[in-house]
Structure 1
Amino acid sequence: MNVDTQKVLKTLNPRKVWIPVLLGIGIVVAMMLFDDNLTADKLLLISHAGGGSLLLALLIILCRDIGYIYRIRIVTGKQLSWMSSVYVILLWEFASAVTPSVVGGTAVAIFILWKEGIKLGQALAYAMLTAILDNMFFVVAAPIAILLSGGQAFPRLEAANLQFGGSLEVLFYISYGLITLYTLVMSLALFSKPRAFKWLLIKATSIGFLRRWRHGAVNRGNEIIMASRQFRGRGWEFWAKIALATLFVWIARYFTLNAVISAFADLTLSEHLLVFGRQIVMWITMLISPTPGSSGFAEGLFPQFFGAFLLDYTLVANILWRMVTYYPYLILGALVLPRWLQRVFLQKNP
């Protein structure tokens, strides 16, 4: 397996933070300009936010990141130190924030793990495993959320926006289908039939117009076989730990918004569960966004899914939600990246 260092470093470019920032700000400004009911007084509603709920949101984010750090350390068999695990997670989140959601930061994660001293084949296996675990959460949680919501997981829109509402459902089911297919194929390839997966890749690239990718298909097949060897003989304790860690980090990720909304509105238990379920649906829809970190796309979807709970507070809650869950990783990544590059290129020789 080869790693295109220049391509990865081009992705891990602190200057790229401006692209998603400007997209997000642009959407928010547009929403403000086209909202005839928006006044200066309404912009000051942020001062009415419950401070305790916002502190809770920040605490949940911290706990979620600790969960990610713990999981990557367990997945790598504790080959990473705690400090290395912190670097990996912060830069992985940064890579996800500056690349389109449909692309993700997995390729960058492989490079980061490799530069932290993990063998390349192992780095591939670990990155693939975490991606599969995360996708499995979506695949299992989404139907549960839809069933338990009593048909309310998709927002009920005004008559003028019914067409857009239908588009939301279409986007969701397309994204969910793609995630399910990817998870099924990659799970079989990594855990059960790696050689069969390689054979399928080779057969597929035997077709005339696909032959140009045959060499790459052979390489990808060899990488899958190499990666699958990393998890043979792992006991139930290993799988239980990483499964529970995955469940914890995603529940924490979603409950962050519950805390933000609670700063402006009193939610009942059933409403909390509905907000949680709608986040799963919205997140899956966002996964096919072409923008970096779903910037702009996320801000645009937020009022459709949660405006009914927030009413006049929707815009300020939208801004706060992205301020605590997205933009900090752009800033932290841009600050941490130069130090990490100096650390791994000048002080290490993987």
Structure 2
Amino acid sequence: MNKKLLQKLAFILAVIFLISFFVIYLTIDLDNIKKINIFKWEYLLFALGSLTIGLILDGTRLVHLVRVTDQQISPLEAMQVVFSNYFLALLTPGATGGAIAQVMFLKKAGVPVGKATVVVLVRTILSILFLITTIPFVLHYDNSLIPSLSKNTIYLFSSTLVILAIISVLLMRTKYPEYFLVFFTKSLNRSLKRKIYFFYKEIKTATFLFFNKPLCIFRVYLESGLSLLFIYAVVPILFYGLDETINMFVTMGRMIILNLLLYFAPTPGGAGIAEGGFVMLFKPLLPIGTVGILAIVWRIMVEYLPFIIGAYFSIKTFGPDIVARISKKAIKIKNKGVSDI
């Protein structure tokens, strides 16, 4: 196997091991660890079933999103795109390789690079948009997340967040963002200005899909939401396995908050941030000493299992030098543009 890939895998495994060790070490309580012994192991199968449904929905929404661009991919090709994202996102800084891997697989499936780039971008935008639009419901059922704010303030904040997201999409159909960019970038150097305009062009192109085929995009939006909810449902299912009485709305809401933050995490695959955020959010809801173990089980199921499958598809399709190729393409995109993929 390629030496660089082995080094990357060894590094990421070491990081995962260290994070898992410290999370468990800092949260374990020997007096309450016996709670793990009553875990109903059949709930692991239920959790895997929920994860499987979520991943399948992730693949079907990609198939339907590609159709919006008048292209076609098979369900198998869609799943390769989904799993490759897990693999390369965990091996590259800031998860940059995940997006490039998706474009590469879509290109191999016959989707032109320009359309593939838009598909990957819209796929991410719709996921984030779904999470943002659920924030009002999350804070309604769990105002203890921000106890210092009144419910009216929370509703105002949440509604403003959703409205701003919608307005941002609508503004992309106008020239106003370009006026703002001209003013904002006039004092920046040429290289940085070019990157900002390039990113703006991608976003603007992506928003055209929202208006050209709104019903199709709305369908993909709903599939995005269902996919995410089934994947997040792994956590409450694990809690039920401990025979815990939990509030489903609160648990799912906190998973939404955590995963929304992970979209902007600077570490590969959100490593460290995901585990720490999980402990912080769910420590008040679980028996002392079990939250760290469940955080690791959750990450193994929803991140590392898809990572292994993604490694198989990526290496089989593009060879063991896939990481080096992704890195080179990232540099080309940074210096020239997406057409170099």
Q: TM-score, normalised by structure 2?
A: 0.75
Q: In the alignment, which of 120, 123, 129 is matched to residue 116 of structure 2? A: 123
Is 257-266 or 30-39 further displaced after alignment? 30-39
1:177-256 equivalence runs, <5 A: 187-188=169-170, 192-193=173-174, 196-198=176-178, 200-207=180-187, 209-224=188-203, 226-228=205-207, 233-234=212-213, 236=215, 238-256=216-234
CA spacing shift, 1:285–1:69, aligned 2, 3 Å: closer
Aligned residue identity for 1:281: I
Per-residue displacement from partner, 1:12-60 (whole Å, max 9, x unpaired)? Answer: 9575344444333213322444457437x93x75443212321111000
2:281 is aligned with 1:305: yes
Tell me, yes or no, if structure 1 residue 331 matches structure 2 residue 331.
Answer: no
Query: What secondary structure is seen at the aligned counterpart in 1 of 2:270?
Result: coil
Give the C-alpha shift of residue 106 in structure 1. Answer: 3.0
1:182-239 per-position Cα deviation (integer Å, ceiling 9, x unaligned): 956863465x23x5545544553332x3333344445445545555555653252x12
The one of 279, 284, 301 equivalent to 2:260 is 284
Which residue identity lines up with residue 212 of structure 1 in the other structure?
A: S
- Structure 1, 311-320 or 244-253: larger mean CA deviation: 311-320
Q: CA deviation at 1:249?
A: 0.9
Letter in 2 for 1:262: Y
User: What's the TM-score, normalizing by structure 1?
Assistant: 0.74
Asked whether 1:73 is paired with 2:52, we answer: no
1:275-331 CA distances to partner (integer Å, 9 max, x unpaired)?
111212222344443321121222223222222332143233222111211111221
d(CA) in 2 for partners of 1:226, 1:251: 28
Structure 2: gaps (5+ residues): 149-157, 323-340
Identify unmatched segments of 5+ residues in structure 1.
Answer: 1-9, 157-165, 167-175
Contact 1:286–1:294 (CA under 8 A) maintained in structure 2: yes
How far, CA to CA, are the matches of 1:260 and 1:84 in structure 2?
31
**2:3 is the counterpart of 1:30:** no
1:264-283 superposed matches below 5 A: 264-268=242-246, 271-283=247-259
Q: Distance in 1 between matches of 2:197 and 2:261?
A: 32
- Offset at residue 83 of structure 1 (A): 1.7
The 3-state SS of whatever aligns with 2:269 is coil
